[in-house]
């Protein structure tokens, strides 16, 4: 146990830092893709339900656990859990969070480094006059690091290292540094996002061309926002919705515990948790759905968007679409878009650094500086394979294991610990003491019963994910006496490595990352 060595400067700073932790690349790159791939309006109801019965409860659990452990001078998830439940084994569940953060930070900072590089390329006019295929090819060449597109050898590696150094330097300044970045980055992000969203909203069919005469930005918005009730019975959509909620709220990783550990015992957690959570949802469902999807639908049509929805759209398509506004506006739009992504990314990657730093402090008494630079170094070593072997699918393996599976496992374990081992008799006051809002009592029962059951269902579901994610087909197959065919992405099949080879083959296409 170490001294309480650092503290948040102000409540605004804390909320912005927590919102910055949550608001990330996931809001702008992952959410629109998940929504489109899962049927647009079909996605949104399961998504909002998951937010209310899993997202908010997990925020309450993580914020209150963090404040609880912080009282005893703990700064990292294993120590925080140790102050709640006695038992060596249980304590080490928290270690999960630390390694997940290192692995996610490694590949997340790689995307973050693309956004930096693309800001410079937008300013430098790299995309001026390029065709759609040229812009897409530029990205392909960029991530193929042996290939220099701009004369800078190993440009992707150079930007990656610069990005890690920036993160590490800020982290070495402690909470003050994180708070300052959030105070500058979050308002700018919202401003940049609002400008682009207005463009998305007002584009209409003015971008339609001879090739895509029917293109209309409103088709994209209607597709996302017309609810479809049929999907309520489709487990695949529920799994995707739950996965997005975890990722976007940054729960199941330990970052929230670590930030909340610096709260005072009398500080509110309930209202803070809800405010940061809703801020993330505003940025996600409003700004996140008003940029990529409508702008792409406005030029290329909704069908194109549905067929090409992928993580690469942001880098492979947007710079081309911006060119349609003329070189000056294209430059501004590029800076706004990639700048927005950069601020979204860095406020999240800083959060991923804190669990490691906090653990090294709790366990070995390391200071902030030593913690920060060791984090940067480990992220670099873990990240280089994703950079060098990007095309071989290493990146996707990281995203799958660290960015998806681990979050569900950890969230499930911590919820069971909180609701059943620590117990709601202590858990409810841990959430409501000092609260500036009255938390509806129904949440006591949701946290005790609904959240753990949902998490267990999702975990078991991902163990047995059926082929092609076709739950209904496989269920009726099973009931008619036939077998259940596992998907290559199901955890069981991946653990036994039966699916890995095929997955890697699929993953060589950079557009399947999200
Ligand atoms: N919530 C972040 C996003 O939406 C990602 C993240 C996950 C950040 C876990 C920190 C911890 O991009
Ligand atoms: Na988010």
DSSP 95-153: HHHHHHHHHHHHHHHHHHHHHHHHHHHHHHTTTTT--HHHHHHHHHHHHSTTS-SSS-T
Could you tell me the pLDDT band of residue 513, with boundaries at 50, 70 and 90? very low
> Which of 13-22, 98-107, 139-148, 440-449 is predicted least confidently?
139-148
> Which of 194-203, 303-312, 376-385, 395-404 is predicted least confidently?
395-404
Query: Which residue of 59, 248, 354 sits with most ligand 1 atoms within 8 Å of its CB, as the best mutation to test the pocket?
Result: 248
- Could you tell me the distance, in angstroms and rounded to a whole number, from the CA of residue 29 to the centre of ligand 2? 10
pLDDT of 239: 83
Q: What is the mean pLDDT of the chain?
A: 90
- Could you tell me the distance, in angstroms and rounded to a whole number, from the CA of residue 16 to the centre of ligand 1? 14
Atom 7 of ligand 1, nearest CA residue: 250
The reply to whether ligand 1 has any atom less than 6 angstroms from the CB of 22 is: yes
CA 508, CA 514: separation in Å to the nearest integer?
A: 13
Query: Which residue of 19, 22, 349 sits with most ligand 1 atoms within 8 Å of its CB, as the best mutation to test the pocket?
Result: 22
pLDDT of 103: 93
- Could you tell me the distance, in angstroms and rounded to a whole number, from the CA of residue 240 to the centre of ligand 1? 16
**Using an 8 Å Cβ cutoff, are 16 and 348 in contact?**
no
pLDDT of 501: 47
pLDDT of 389: 84
> Which of 290-304, 414-428, 457-471 is predicted least confidently?
457-471
Instruction: Give me the mean pLDDT over the 66-72 stretch.
Output: 96
- Could you tell me the distance, in angstroms and rounded to a whole number, from the CA of residue 53 to the centre of ligand 1? 19
The reply to whether ligand 1 has any atom less than 6 angstroms from the CB of 24 is: yes
Could you tell me the pLDDT band of residue 489, with boundaries at 50, 70 and 90? low
- Residue 487, Cβ neighbours under 10 Å: how many? 20
The reply to whether ligand 1 has any atom less than 6 angstroms from the CB of 255 is: yes
| Ligand 1 atom nearest to CA at 348 | 8
pLDDT of 286: 96
Query: Which residue of 25, 250, 311, 398 sits with most ligand 1 atoms within 8 Å of its CB, as the best mutation to test the pocket?
Result: 250
Ligand whose nearest atom lies closest to the CA of 287: 2
Phi, psi (rounded to 5 degrees) for 296? -65, -40
* pTM of the shown model: 0.91
Could you tell me the pLDDT band of residue 179, with boundaries at 50, 70 and 90? very high
CA 164, CA 159: separation in Å to the nearest integer?
A: 9
Instruction: Give me the mean pLDDT over the 199-221 stretch.
Output: 94
The reply to whether ligand 1 has any atom less than 6 angstroms from the CB of 25 is: yes
CA 55, CA 281: separation in Å to the nearest integer?
A: 10
- Could you tell me the distance, in angstroms and rounded to a whole number, from the CA of residue 63 to the centre of ligand 2? 16
pLDDT for residue 400 is more than 50: yes
Query: Which residue of 20, 23, 25, 26 sits with most ligand 1 atoms within 8 Å of its CB, as the best mutation to test the pocket?
Result: 26
pLDDT for residue 2 is more than 50: no
| Ligand 1 atom nearest to CA at 345 | 12
pLDDT for residue 253 is more than 90: yes
The reply to whether ligand 1 has any atom less than 6 angstroms from the CB of 348 is: yes
Atom 6 of ligand 1, nearest CA residue: 250
Question: Following CA atoms 263, 265, 271, 277 in sequence, which dihedral angle do they give, to the nearest 10 degrees?
Answer: 40
The reply to whether ligand 1 has any atom less than 6 angstroms from the CB of 253 is: yes
Place of tokens 């690469």: 312
């Amino acid at each position: 146990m170490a001294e309480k060595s650092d503290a948040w400067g102000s409540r605004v700073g804390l909320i912005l830092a927590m919102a910055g932790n949550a608001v990330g690349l996931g809001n702008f790159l992952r959410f629109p893709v998940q929504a489109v791939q899962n049927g647009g309006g079909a996605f949104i109801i399961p998504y909002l339900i998951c937010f209310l019965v899993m997202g908010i409860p997990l925020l309450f659990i993580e914020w209150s656990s963090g404040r609880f452990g912080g009282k005893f001078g703990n700064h990292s998830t294993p120590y925080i859990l140790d102050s709640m439940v006695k038992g060596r084994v249980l304590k080490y569940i928290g270690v999960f969070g630390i390694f997940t953060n290192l692995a996610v930070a490694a590949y997340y900072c790689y995307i973050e480094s693309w956004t930096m590089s693309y800001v410079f390329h937008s300013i430098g006019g790299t995309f001026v006059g390029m065709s759609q295929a040229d812009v897409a090819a530029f990205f392909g060449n960029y991530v193929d690091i042996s290939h220099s597109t701009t004369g800078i050898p190993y440009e992707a590696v150079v930007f990656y290292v610069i990005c890690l150094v920036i993160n590490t330097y800020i982290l070495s300044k402690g909470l003050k540094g994180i708070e300052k970045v959030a105070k500058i980055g979050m308002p700018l992000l919202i401003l940049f996002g609002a400008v682009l969203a207005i463009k998305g909203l007002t584009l209409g069919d003015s971008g339609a061309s001879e090739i895509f005469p029917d293109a209309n930005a409103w088709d994209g918005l209607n597709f996302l926002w017309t609810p479809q009730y049929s999907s309520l019975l489709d487990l695949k959509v529920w799994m995707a919705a739950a996965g997005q909620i975890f990722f976007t709220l940054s729960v199941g990783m330990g970052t929230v515990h670590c930030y909340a550990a610096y709260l005072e015992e009398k500080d509110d957690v309930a209202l803070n948790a809800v405010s940061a959570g809703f801020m993330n949802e505003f940025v996600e469902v409003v700004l996140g759905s008003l940029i990529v999807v409508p702008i792409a639908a406005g030029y290329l049509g909704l069908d194109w968007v549905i067929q090409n929805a992928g993580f690469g759209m942001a880098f492979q398509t947007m710079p081309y679409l911006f060119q349609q506004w003329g070189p000056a506006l294209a430059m501004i739009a590029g800076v706004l878009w990639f700048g927005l992504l950069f601020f979204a990314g860095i406020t999240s990657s800083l959060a991923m650094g804190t669990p490691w730093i906090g653990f090294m402090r709790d366990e070995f008494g390391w200071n902030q500086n030593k913690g920060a630079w060791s984090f940067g170094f480990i992220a670099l070593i873990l990240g280089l394979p994703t950079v060098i072997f990007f095309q071989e699918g290493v990146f996707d393996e990281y995203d799958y294991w660290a960015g998806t599976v681990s979050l569900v496992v950890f969230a499930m374990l911590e919820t069971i610990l909180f609701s059943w081992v620590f117990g709601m008799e202590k858990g409810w006051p841990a959430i409501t003491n000092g609260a500036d809002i009255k938390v509806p009592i129904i949440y006591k029962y949701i946290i005790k019963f609904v959240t753990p059951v949902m998490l267990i269902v999702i975990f078991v579901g991902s163990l047995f994910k059926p082929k092609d994610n076709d739950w209904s087909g496989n269920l009726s197959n099973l009931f008619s006496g036939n077998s259940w065919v596992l998907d290559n992405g199901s955890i069981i099949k991946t653990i036994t490595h039966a699916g890995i080879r095929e997955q890697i083959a699929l993953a060589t296409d950079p557009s399947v990352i999200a």
